[in-house]
Structure 1
Amino acid sequence: MSQLTRAAGRAFLGGLAAGGTIAAISAVRRSKWSKDLERVNHRGDTVSLAEGPGVTIGATAAAVAGAASPAYAAAAAATGLATGALGLYDDMADTKGEKAKGFKGHLSALLKGRVSAGLVKIVGISATGLASSALVDTVSDRRPEGRWARLWNIGVGGGVIAGAANLLNLFDLRPGRALKVASAVAAPLSRPAGPKARSTASSGANTALAVSAAAAAAMGDDLEGKTMLGDCGANAVGALLGLSYIARTGPVGRHVALVGIAALIAASERVSFTQVIADTPVLRELDEMGRNKA
């Protein structure tokens, strides 16, 4: 494939992700469910969660279009749409007064005999991550030898996808923050795969490219405090980045990512990411960049 053809293909995927995101957000905001997707943010302003379904649709469509195999296309579709739908279910539970938040909150609710929407989401996203990881494994040319080694590798890959979905959601607390984090992670993952890369690397690169373009399309309104990702968008975008990562890396990379993700999620139960960002000058400047301060 020539460089010109590759560049044209990447431009098409970026346009599909961005255009699909903008069109989907607009359609959701005009729908009969638009009022149900309104929330009050940390400043007391009303924002729309329409961005979540919009980014999910735009990024997933381009990730599927950029897949190099039917199995990876199925993994991308399942990862984006299933995690997005589960996140939307959790978003809508907020409207009905769902109070359980965080792992401790979901566990406490379960001990009281109540299955929280968040727990349903966690279990569903975990199952989706495992299924998507298994699909990637079927078309990988560098699978670990031995049945148990392969199963373990699939499990770690599923953990990366599910963990990334959860982790990105923890950053969706201020305008533009989660999209900036997603864009920063997607940048190295979206680089074109080299000739010696694993067979799934090009699909992974296109998935990250789709996330970058969808995030860029939604960034303006998010920074202005008009829309936000919500659980729907944050879970889908995070999961797609996790999928991109496992498509480009082997067992060692997967283990490193899973340990890092697990450590950050565990830390979030005790430490406020917002406070850490506020107390760190460089992170604070990056976090506030482009944000509407009026």
Structure 2
Amino acid sequence: MYSYVFRGIIFLLGLIGTYLMIPLFKNLLTDSNCIRPNYKGEMIPVSMGIVFLPMVIINGIIVAFFTIDAISMLCLFLFIFGMMAMFFAGIIDDTIGNRDVSGLKGHFKSLFKGKLTTGGFKALFGGFVGLIISVSISKNIADIIINTLIIALSTNLMNLFDLRPGRAIKVYLVIMITIFITLTGYIKILPLLILPNVLAYFNLDLKAKAMMGDTGSNVLGISIGILMAFGYTLNVRIGWLVFLVLIHLLTERFSLTKIIEKNKALNFIDRLGR
């Protein structure tokens, strides 16, 4: 659909543009006292995922200008809408969220008791965002249900991993690069709206100089979910959904960090680059 040169330009713009914006947003968050202790207790800026969005919009404008048919334009706008929507929910959780309740089970249990947490709001909001995107692209009720679950659970996937510097982004890069390689047609351009932005920020997260927070992890998660819903067959989507359900059930019962630490290979990859 787009030439290698066009894709290369979009990639470089996202990479360089985000890299140049990082100091600006880091200072903005620090000056606004949007800081939080990391796992070592050091006070660092949180919500640095905000830096992903500017180049998503700028490159989105460029891609939209060269997009001709209505279906492709719909996919582009739904992709950007989903990321912006979860950016909004994530920054609310980062700035006013209460950490006394954790996990989807905990947030929904709190909601059933009549208390809405920011995590509960984020989960419900993410579900409805997934639903509106799914209704827009799905062929039948079964497709709507599958795609909604994929988008909602994928959105939360990166939160499960974002407990140590660089961990969530390492997982994200493996998934997103695989998606980029295997996608075909117009949809193949969409990962380039976010992937280079994440690469530009990666080292800052890896060295624990900033936290992307839910502001970033939600955006990364939903970008995976939307692309899975857009670009893959029913069998692939069902397989991905099964994986999402299993890993959510696993993390409700066991500590993902402890599982990783007990496995030599996973622990090595997890610590690599820190």
TM-based fold match above 0.5: yes
Partner of 2:175: 185
SS of alignment partner, residue 155 of structure 1: helix
Q: Which amino acid aligns with 1:183?
A: L
Is the Cα contact below 8 Å between 1:38 and 1:47 reproduced in 2? Answer: yes
Farther-moved stretch of structure 1 (57-66 vs 128-137): 57-66
Q: Which amino acid aligns with 1:127?
A: F
Aligned positions, number:
268
Partner of 2:196: 213
Pair 206,49 (structure 1): closer, same or farther in 2 beyond 3 Å: farther
Identical residues among aligned pairs (%): 26
The whole-number CA distance in structure 2 between the counterparts of 1:232 and 1:276 is: 26
Q: Could you tell me how far 1:133 is from its partner in structure 2?
A: 2.5
In terms of fraction of residues, the more helix-rich structure is 2
User: Which residues of structure 2 form unaligned runs of 5+?
Assistant: none
Pair 282,217 (structure 1): closer, same or farther in 2 beyond 3 Å: same
Partner of 1:159: 149
Q: Does 1:135 align with 2:136?
A: yes
Is the Cα contact below 8 Å between 2:104 and 2:123 reproduced in 1? Answer: no
Q: Could you tell me how far 1:273 is from its partner in structure 2?
A: 1.0
Q: Could you tell me how far 1:59 is from its partner in structure 2?
A: 4.3
The whole-number CA distance in structure 2 between the counterparts of 1:33 and 1:184 is: 30
Farther-moved stretch of structure 1 (248-257 vs 26-35): 26-35
Q: Could you tell me how far 1:32 is from its partner in structure 2?
A: 6.6
Is the Cα contact below 8 Å between 2:260 and 2:267 reproduced in 1? Answer: yes
SS of alignment partner, residue 113 of structure 1: coil
The whole-number CA distance in structure 2 between the counterparts of 1:32 and 1:214 is: 18
TM value normalised by structure 1: 0.83
Pair 77,104 (structure 1): closer, same or farther in 2 beyond 3 Å: same
Q: Which amino acid aligns with 2:112?
A: L
Q: Could you tell me how far 1:29 is from its partner in structure 2?
A: 2.5
Pair 43,98 (structure 1): closer, same or farther in 2 beyond 3 Å: closer
Q: Does 1:31 align with 2:34?
A: no
The whole-number CA distance in structure 2 between the counterparts of 1:191 and 1:239 is: 18
SS of alignment partner, residue 192 of structure 2: helix
Pair 283,156 (structure 1): closer, same or farther in 2 beyond 3 Å: same
The whole-number CA distance in structure 2 between the counterparts of 1:257 and 1:100 is: 27
Partner of 2:186: 202
Q: Could you tell me how far 1:189 is from its partner in structure 2?
A: 0.8
Pair 249,91 (structure 1): closer, same or farther in 2 beyond 3 Å: same
The whole-number CA distance in structure 2 between the counterparts of 1:219 and 1:12 is: 20
Is the Cα contact below 8 Å between 1:64 and 1:73 reproduced in 2? Answer: no
Pair 219,33 (structure 1): closer, same or farther in 2 beyond 3 Å: closer
CA RMSD after TM alignment: 2.2
TM value normalised by structure 2: 0.89
Selected match of 2:11 from 10, 14, 23: 14
User: Which residues of structure 1 form unaligned runs of 5+?
Assistant: 138-142, 144-149, 195-200
How big is each residue's C-alpha offset from its partner over 1:124-176, in whole Å with a ceiling of 9 and x where there is no partner?
11111122233344xxxxx5xxxxxx122122112111111101111111111
Is the Cα contact below 8 Å between 1:161 and 1:242 reproduced in 2? Answer: yes
Is the Cα contact below 8 Å between 1:25 and 1:50 reproduced in 2? Answer: no
Is the Cα contact below 8 Å between 2:135 and 2:144 reproduced in 1? Answer: yes
Is the Cα contact below 8 Å between 1:64 and 1:77 reproduced in 2? Answer: no
How big is each residue's C-alpha offset from its partner over 1:178-216, in whole Å with a ceiling of 9 and x where there is no partner?
11100000111112755xxxxxx432x223233331221
How big is each residue's C-alpha offset from its partner over 1:6-26, in whole Å with a ceiling of 9 and x where there is no partner?
111111221232234334433
Q: Which amino acid aligns with 1:273?
A: L
Q: Could you tell me how far 1:33 is from its partner in structure 2?
A: 7.0
Pair 57,240 (structure 1): closer, same or farther in 2 beyond 3 Å: farther
Partner of 1:74: 77
The whole-number CA distance in structure 1 between the counterparts of 2:60 and 2:255 is: 32
The whole-number CA distance in structure 2 between the counterparts of 1:269 and 1:86 is: 22
Q: Could you tell me how far 1:100 is from its partner in structure 2?
A: 2.0
